[in-house]
């Protein structure tokens, strides 16, 4: 997205929803065929963020109608994929007070509702500076919002312990989603030819340019 922060950079597949949806689908299907679970992120969108959520909380002012038409569309087109990761981004038109990761409005109305994603939903890293409050507060809020798994990535065992203390045992719908996701990679693996695959990727990217 023009004007967005460079932190996303080449992790983005393009600037239009159709291209992003198509290339994202191809990448996900390739990973599944190779026995790897793909995680689509950062749902419901990070392309309009003008700040690095590792360092501060991004806020998006765009209307809900425009977000549904553009930013949310690639996720909606791929809502049947098994796993997704939330965005530490505030969408003011939807929930002006909480980033998507901690927002029951965004999780239920947008991710589970408009987008239609019913797979395993994990948070982005809870140690990122976009989030405020204690690690217990962060973990408690994300589970209350409806996120299935808490992700803590920086290796600080004290912080990880606080997150784990607020994490419920995987059960119920969350466990069903985890088992369903793992079932997607339970079959035989396709043989992988790195040379042929690189050529196919280059051709796909060229056709999308």
Residues annotated as catalytic are 54, 124
Q: What is the spatial distance between Cα 123 and Cα 159, in angstroms, rounded to a whole number?
A: 15
Q: What is the chain's percent helix, strand, coil content, to nearest 5?
A: 45, 10, 45
Its sign, for the CA torsion 154, 160, 163, 168, is: positive
- Map tokens 């992700």 to a residue: 151
How far is C-alpha 150 from the chain's CA centre? 12
**Cα dihedral angle (90, 92, 93, 95), rounded to 10 degrees?**
60
Name the token pair of 69.
Answer: 């038409």
């Amino acid at each position: 997205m023009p004007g967005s922060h460079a932190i996303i950079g080449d992790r983005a597949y393009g600037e239009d929803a159709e291209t992003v949806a198509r290339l994202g689908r191809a990448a996900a299907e390739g990973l599944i065929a190779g026995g790897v679970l793909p995680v689509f992120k950062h749902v419901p969108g990070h392309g309009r963020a003008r700040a690095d959520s590792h360092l501060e909380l991004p806020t998006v002012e765009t209307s809900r109608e425009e977000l549904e038409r553009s930013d949310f569309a690639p996720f909606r087109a791929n809502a049947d994929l098994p796993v997704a990761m939330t965005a530490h981004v505030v969408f003011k038109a939807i929930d002006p007070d909480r980033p998507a990761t901690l927002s029951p409005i965004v999780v239920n109305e947008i991710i589970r509702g408009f987008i239609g994603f019913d797979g395993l939903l994990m948070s982005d890293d809870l140690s990122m500076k976009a989030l405020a409050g204690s690690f217990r507060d962060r973990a408690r809020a994300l589970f209350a919002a409806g996120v299935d798994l808490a992700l803590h990535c920086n290796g600080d065992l004290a912080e990880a312990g606080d997150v784990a203390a607020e994490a419920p045992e995987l059960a119920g719908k969350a466990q069903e989603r985890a088992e369903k996701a793992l079932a997607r990679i339970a079959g035989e693996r396709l043989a992988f030819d790195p040379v042929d695959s690189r050529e196919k990727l280059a051709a796909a990217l060229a056709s999308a340019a």
